[in-house]
A and B are shown apart, each in its own frame.
Chain A
Amino acid sequence: MIKWLMLLLFICCMSLATVLDPEFRKWRNGGNSSVGVLVALMGDSRRLFAHEFFAQADAYFHSGFYPTIFDRQKPGTESDLKEESRDKPEGAPEKEEESSFLGKPKDWIERFGRHFYPTVHTHLHGGNEREMLPWLKLSADLDPHELDAYLTASYWLRTSLNKPKEAEQFLREGQRANPDSYAIELELGRLYFYNYSNAPVARNIFLQGRQKWRKQDSAGAKPDPHAYEEILGEIVRADRAQGDLKQQLADMEELVKVAHSKDILQRQIDELKAKLTEPKP
């Protein structure tokens, strides 16, 4: 009798589980069934790990020369991975003088111990940047709102690793998770402009980015003003590539309102105006 009762209880439990499990998943994921096992297992704590994995990518970028939790308050520990993963204007210095968080050794044990771990500030180069990618992917998987993971991975994929398709796929994932992000639009536009040489599509994407930036600005979200300048700058470059002088002039006039180097831009605007007023042969 007890055996049959146990069997009945077991069947009841199994049946209840099949009913409750999908409901529970829906409740946890807010109706988004695409969120994976990690969310179910880790909940919101995964965001904490996402930051750690991004830091791990940074550590890899420096080939292991990276501050521990005991060093993070010291000067010279600021991450430069995000800075290095941005398109720089032509002629910008490649590398500033680096300061080390290590400082001078305090005793013979520390001096001796420094021969057993990386103590030189270097950056990955020559295609070795690929070594960061697993951590960036993991970081984005754990927290799809970790924008830096998408932007950094995409930058290295489309530049030194020459994998624009993979970069685009990853950015599209980021775009789906962060539909209001102007930064992803900017990166995606750059991919179309510099890698696919598709200026019309790139310009449209930059315009979408500009629209998203303005929307956030009008909502009082204080979006990054430097990113806005970058978006406008890229729109001007796309205009120039398309040979649309009138549109270029209009976009440059918009850019000059927020640009840091106003003098140079104003001179370019004047030159462009003169070119436009020149009688055609």
Chain B
Amino acid sequence: MSSSISWVTSRNPDAGNVFAIAGVVIKEMYRRKDFYVLLTLIVVITLMLASVGIFNDDRIVRYIKDGCLLLIWLSSLVIAITTAARQIPAERESRTIFPLLAKPVGRGEFVVGKFLGCWLACGMALVAFYFFFGMVAASREHTLPFLAYFQAIWLHWMCLGIVVALVLLGSVVFTAPSSNATICFIVVLGIMFAGGHLNEIALEMRGFRGAVVYAIYYAIPHLEWYENVRELIIHNWGLIDWLYWGGATIYAALYMGLLLGCAWLVFQRRKLTL
């Protein structure tokens, strides 16, 4: 085991290997039915919402955008979490991980390749989802704020990057993919719902418990920033300052790196047996 670790750490990472693994993940996504089912659901539910006649006014659009974006967020989280959660356990279960790592592919390359594949697959799904969203919104509003949508899709993708990295870390810590997916879902939705308010809760608690909650507040990735952009899009608030958009991108990249680093460290120490 120790010799394999030194072998992994001594060789340089190969981008070819990373992209080859990522390519397999992307192919897997478009072969599976998850994405198509979710896209169909989004289309059907959004068109149903749009078909509702409200006071004979066909210019009402924000509730449709709201519903559609909510579905897009939920669907993208489902795709990101379920795709990432099954990657490493599936390779181990089917024992394809052994020839793969014997190629030789380093464990770091393996983790990064899996991450990149899942993240790019999520990005492709997002492009399809937002394309439909843009068409629906433009059909009623008769405008297409391209840059605002670009910012929204980019920040959404960055958020999914953190989620994918978190799930990959979970998949090397937890034994079953189902438990990993469930825990990650709860953590991600919990952060989106209450993550931004933990500081207020901590201030109300005071003392040691308050300090612990404040520490959690600083430690967690603030996914709610990215999810909140939904409100800006629904209510046509215009562009986010590019400086803060860039800051959020760097913040997400740092968390992706951190979580992937942790996943790699845990995976490197994990004993793979037949």
Contact = CB atoms under 8 A, between A and B. Distances in A.
Most central of B225, B235, B248 by chain A CB within 10 Å: B235
Contacts of A95: none
A115 interface: yes
A109 B221 CA distance: 10
Interface string B197-239: 1011101000000000000011000101110110110111100
Interface stretch (A19-27, A75-83, A132-140): A132-140
Top 8 A-B residue pairs of the complex, sorted by shortest distance between their CB atoms: A64-B231, A117-B228, A63-B235, A115-B244, A70-B197, A166-B55, A134-B63, A131-B62
Given A110-B199, A131-B63, A135-B63, 7 more contacts: A60-B62, A106-B199, A109-B218, A109-B222, A116-B248, A161-B55, A161-B57
A235 to B, nearest CB: 29
B54 interface: yes
B50 to A, nearest CB: 11
A118 B63 contact: no
A107 B155 CA distance: 22
Contacts of B247: 112
Interface string A153-173: 100010001010010001000
29 contacts: A60-B62, A60-B63, A60-B235, A63-B237, A64-B237, A70-B197, A70-B200, A109-B196, A112-B244, A113-B196, A113-B222, A113-B228, A115-B240, A115-B244, A116-B155, A116-B226, A116-B228, A116-B248, A117-B228, A117-B229, A117-B232, A118-B231, A118-B235, A130-B57, A130-B59, A131-B61, A134-B52, A134-B54, A161-B57
A109 B235 CA distance: 24
B244 A116 contact: yes
Contacts of A163: 55-57
Of A109, A118, A135, A137, most buried by chain B (CB within 10 Å of CB) is: A109
A70 B62 contact: no
A118 B240 CA distance: 10
A106 B225 CA distance: 16
Contacts, number: 87
A277 interface: no
Interface of A is mostly: helix
Interface string A60-87: 1001100010100000000000000000
Given A70-B197, A106-B200, A109-B222, A116 B240 contact: yes
A153 to B, nearest CB: 8
B54 A133 contact: yes
A112 B222 CA distance: 11
Nearest to B228: A117
Nearest to A135: B63
Interface string A101-134: 0000011011011011110000000010011011
B241 interface: yes
Nearest to B214: A107
A109 B240 CA distance: 16
A50 B82 CA distance: 34
B60 interface: yes
B194 interface: yes
A89 to B, nearest CB: 28
A170 B199 CA distance: 44
Contacts of A109: 196, 199, 217-218, 222
A110 B202 CA distance: 14
A24 B241 CA distance: 58
Contacts of B235: 60, 63-64, 118
Contacts of B234: 64
Nearest to B227: A116
A117 B197 contact: no
Given A64-B237, A113-B222, A166 B56 contact: yes
Contacts of B231: 64, 117-118
Contact of A130 (B60, B236, B240): B60
B53 to A, nearest CB: 10
Contact of A107 (B62, B199, B228): B199
A135 B234 CA distance: 15
A109 B225 CA distance: 10
Interface string B135-174: 0000000000000000000010000000000000000000
Interface string B46-87: 000000101111011111000000000000000000000000
A70 B225 contact: no
A64 B228 CA distance: 10
Nearest to B202: A106
Nearest to B52: A134
B14 to A, nearest CB: 37
A153 B217 CA distance: 41
Contacts of B226: 116
B166 to A, nearest CB: 18
A118 B237 CA distance: 7
A64 B63 CA distance: 12
Contacts of B248: 112, 116
